[in-house]
C-alpha cells in the first residue's frame, strides 16, 4: 500500500473520530487553486462538512448540527480566483469568501511575495537580506523597497500574464459579489500589520474596509489579516471599522467560544492531498497540535481558556492581551509554510 493511501486512510479515520465529539466547524484559508485542485478540495471537504456562506457563520456557530460546517475563504484576490475557482464553486453550489488587497485590484504591480518567488526561481539561493523570515520582520515600505531594488538589480519580475499572480480587477470583484460570493478586505497593501506603526496599521485596515464597502455597495462582510499577523487591538479596530467578521490564521476549529472579531482559519495549500487535508483538519480540532503561522497562538489559547471560566472579566482580559500582543508576542519570527 502506498504512503498516500495510508495517509489518506489515517487522515479520514482521524477526522471521522473528531466529528464524534467536536462541535462547530472549520474556516479554511486557501490562496490559488487550479480547476482540478478546486474540485479535489471541494470533494474532500464535502465528505465531512456542510459548506456555508460567511453571512451564515454566526448562526451556524451556535447551532447544533450533526455535521460540522466549512467556510471556504481565499486570500489576496488573484485573478484566477475570479476566472477559475469561483466559476467552478458556482457550478458546484459551494459558497466562498474572497479577501482582496484593495490597492492592488486593477493595478499592474505584482505582490511583493510573488516578486520574491520570481527572485528565488532565478537565483536559487538568495542573499540573507532577501530571506523570507528576514523580509517578514520589516515594515512594508522597507520590504517593498528591498524587493524593488533586488528585482532591478537581477533583472527579475513576476509574470502578470499568469492569473495566479495578477490581481483581479474591481469589476471582477463586484461580479463575485453579485454572484452571491462574499468579497472582503485583506488590507490596503499586503503589509504585515504588526510590523507597522499603530497609526499606519489602523489606516491600512480602515482604508481597505472602506474601499470594499464602497465598491460592492454593501457593508464589508469581513477582514482577513495579511500573513495572519494580528493583535487583539488591530482585530477590534477592524471590527469597529465595519467589518462584519475578522479572520486570523489560528489553526483551530471555530465554535461558540470565538468572538466574530477573532475567527481562526486553517490554511490549506494547492498541493495538499486528500490525506493531508483530512489529517490537518483533524489535528486542528485539538487546538494546539498544528503550528501557528503568525506566532500569537499561545496568548490566544490562554485567552480562550480564561474566557471559559465563570466570572471572568472579558473587557479587562481583552485590554491585557491587546497590550501584551502589541509587545513581545506580535514581534516573534514568522514562519509560514511555503
3-state secondary structure 279-306: HHHHHHCCCCCCCCCCCCHHHHHHHHHH
In this structure, the number of other CB atoms found within 10 A of the CB of residue 111 comes to 22
331 φ/ψ angles, rounded to the nearest 5 degrees: -105, 15
Mean pLDDT, residues 68-83 taken together: 98
Whole-number mean pLDDT of the chain? 86
What is the arithmetic mean of pLDDT over 203-208?
Answer: 99
Domain ranges of the chain: 3-106+164-329, 109-159
CB neighbour burial string for 144-178, b if at least 16 within 10 angstroms, e if fewer: bebbeebbeeeebebeeeebbbbbbebebbeebbe
Give start and end residues of each alpha helix (H) in the chain.
3-18, 35-48, 57-61, 79-80, 86-92, 112-123, 132-135, 140-154, 170-178, 198-216, 232-240, 274-284, 297-307, 314-324
CA atoms of 201 and 71, how far apart (whole Å): 27
* CATH of region 3-106+164-329, choose from 3.20.20.370, 3.40.640.10, 3.90.870.10, 3.40.50.970: 3.20.20.370
For residue range 24-50, what is the model confidence (pLDDT) as tens digits?
A: 999 999 999 999 999 999 999 999 999
pTM of the entire structure? 0.86
Name the pLDDT band for 220 (thresholds 50, 70, 90): very high
CA distance 73 to 50: 14
Per-residue confidence at 323, pLDDT binned at 50, 70, 90? very low
pLDDT in tens, 222-237: 999 999 999 999 999 9
Least confident of 117-131, 146-160, 313-327: 313-327
C-alpha cell at 308: 471559559
Amino acid at each position: 500500500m502506498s504512503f498516500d493511501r495510508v495517509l489518506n486512510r489515517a487522515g479520514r479515520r482521524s477526522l471521522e473520530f473528531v466529528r464524534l465529539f467536536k462541535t462547530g466547524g472549520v474556516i479554511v484559508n486557501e490562496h490559488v487553486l487550479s480547476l482540478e485542485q478546486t474540485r479535489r478540495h471541494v470533494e474532500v471537504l464535502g465528505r465531512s462538512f456542510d459548506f456555508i456562506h460567511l453571512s451564515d457563520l454566526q448562526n451556524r456557530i451556535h447551532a447544533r448540527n450533526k455535521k460540522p460546517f466549512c467556510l471556504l475563504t481565499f486570500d489576496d484576490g488573484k485573478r484566477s480566483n475570479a476566472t477559475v475557482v469561483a466559476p467552478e464553486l458556482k457550478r458546484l453550489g459551494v459558497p466562498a469568501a474572497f479577501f482582496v488587497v484593495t490597492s492592488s485590484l486593477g493595478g499592474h504591480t505584482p505582490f511583493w511575495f510573488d516578486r520574491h518567488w520570481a527572485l528565488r526561481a532565478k537565483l536559487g539561493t538568495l542573499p540573507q537580506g532577501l530571506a523570507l523570515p528576514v523580509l517578514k520582520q520589516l515594515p512594508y515600505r522597507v520590504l517593498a523597497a528591498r524587493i524593488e531594488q533586488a528585482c532591478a538589480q537581477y533583472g527579475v519580475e513576476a509574470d502578470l500574464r499568469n492569473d495566479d499572480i495578477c490581481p483581479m480587477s474591481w469589476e471582477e470583484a463586484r461580479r463575485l459579489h453579485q454572484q452571491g460570493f462574499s468579497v472582503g478586505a485583506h488590507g490596503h497593501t499586503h503589509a504585515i500589520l504588526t510590523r507597522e506603526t499603530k497609526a499606519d496599521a489602523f489606516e491600512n485596515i480602515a482604508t481597505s474596509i472602506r474601499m470594499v464597502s464602497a465598491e460592492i455597495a454593501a457593508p464589508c462582510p469581513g477582514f482577513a489579516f495579511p500573513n495572519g499577523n494580528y493583535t487583539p487591538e488591530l482585530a477590534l479596530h477592524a471590527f469597529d471599522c465595519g467589518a462584519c467578521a475578522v479572520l486570523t490564521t489560528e489553526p483551530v476549529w471555530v465554535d461558540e467560544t470565538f468572538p466574530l472579531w477573532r475567527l481562526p482559519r486553517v490554511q490549506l495549500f494547492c498541493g495538499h492531498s486528500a490525506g493531508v487535508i483530512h489529517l490537518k483538519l483533524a489535528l486542528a480540532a485539538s487546538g494546539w497540535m498544528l503550528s501557528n503561522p503568525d506566532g500569537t497562538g499561545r496568548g490566544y489559547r490562554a485567552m480562550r481558556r480564561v474566557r471559559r471560566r465563570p466570572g471572568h472579566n472579558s473587557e479587562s482580559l481583552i485590554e491585557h492581551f491587546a497590550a501584551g500582543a502589541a509587545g513581545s508576542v506580535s514581534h516573534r519570527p514568522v514562519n509560514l509554510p511555503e
